[in-house]
Amino acid sequence: MRHPMILSACMAGVLVLAACGETGEAEATRAVQDLDLIDEANLNEIMLTAADPEEAVSYYRRALEEQPERVDLQRGLAKSLARAGRATEAVGAWRRVIDQGEADHDDRVAYADALIRSNDWDAAAAELDSIPPTHETFERYRLEAMVADSKEQWDRADSFYETAVGLTTRPAGVLNNWGYSKLTRGDYAEAERLFIEAITYDSALFTAKNNLVMARGAQRNYSLPVITMTQTERARLLHTLALAAIKQGDVNTGRGLLQEAIDTHPQHFDVAARALRALDAET
């Protein structure tokens, strides 16, 4: 009589073991899927930050062929195109992100940035205007300042630049833009101050160094500033100063600066040499 009971107990044990086996397999599958998601997230992060921009573009395009509905992949493609300097394509990619209906305010700011890079200032201004004023980020104010600059709305530009500087720990780029804005307005002394401040945050920012030299040259100050520079940079800055001097009619000073640039450069400085030959041919 005990056999059926033993059989029932055995069957119950088998069922429990089977259930445990199924649970273990399910957990293992979920674990693998979770690892896949983590790996993909890490790969996406690498593609957006450290990878070669063109490689990132190829990666996201391949991924979208398999999963075209994924907004995160579309966003990754748009960012990668922008990093690769392919502004027109980035505009189209961001437009697709926004048309999906899942775009956030940062996406719209990035879209406005792509529009600016493709020289569509009116569309960029309209896109920024569509973003609530409560969305206060460095990128938003940086772009607002550039748009105001393009419209020669100087007070607004200065206000936006100042706000943007206060919203980042790495303001060198926006300080350089602000300085260039002052340079185009003819406020050379203030431009010089802003370029120097930019260089204090990023001593490798050659654009700011070159702009600084142009601001000094516009004031007929043809001496190089006391800043960190390589020998090649020094030669290039002397060349910029020379052109500024010649443009303002200080030809002899310009000639001397060109010769100094040629002598300073560690290699043959063809651009400066050609400029000096042309100057000598005219006089």
- Supply the pLDDT for residue 253: 96
pLDDT for residue 52:
84
Residue 240 lies in a domain: yes
Predicted TM-score (pTM) of the model is 0.80
Number of independent structural domains in the chain:
1
Report the pLDDT value the prediction gives residue 43, as an integer from 0 to 100.
Answer: 67
Q: Say how far apart CA 135 and CA 206 lie, in whole Å.
A: 32
- Residue 243, domain member (yes or no): yes
CA dist 219 → 69, 153, 181, 195, 199 (Å): 57, 24, 16, 15, 20
Q: Which domain holds residue 255?
A: 230-283
CB proximity list for 219: less than 8 A, separation 6 or greater: 188, 189, 192
Cβ-contact 107, 94 below 8 angstroms: yes
How confident is the model at residue 58, as a pLDDT? 92
Q: What is the dihedral of CA 158, 160, 163, 165, to 10 degrees?
A: -70
Q: For residue 259, is it within any domain? A: yes
Residue indicated by tokens 């020379």:
242
pLDDT in tens, 186-216: 999 999 999 999 999 999 999 999 999 999 9
Residue at 253 is within a domain: yes
pLDDT of res. 41: 61
- Residue 257 belongs to some domain of the structure: yes
Q: How much is the pLDDT for 25?
A: 52
Give me the DSSP letters along 1-46.
-HHHHHHHHHHHHHHHHHHHHHHHHHHHHHHHHHHHHHHHHHHHHH
User: Which of the residues in the chain have pLDDT under 70?
Assistant: 1-43, 45, 48-51, 283
Helices 87-99 & 105-117, crossing angle to 10 degrees?
Answer: 150
For position 40, what pLDDT does the model report? Answer: 57
CB 201 within 8 A of CB 170: yes
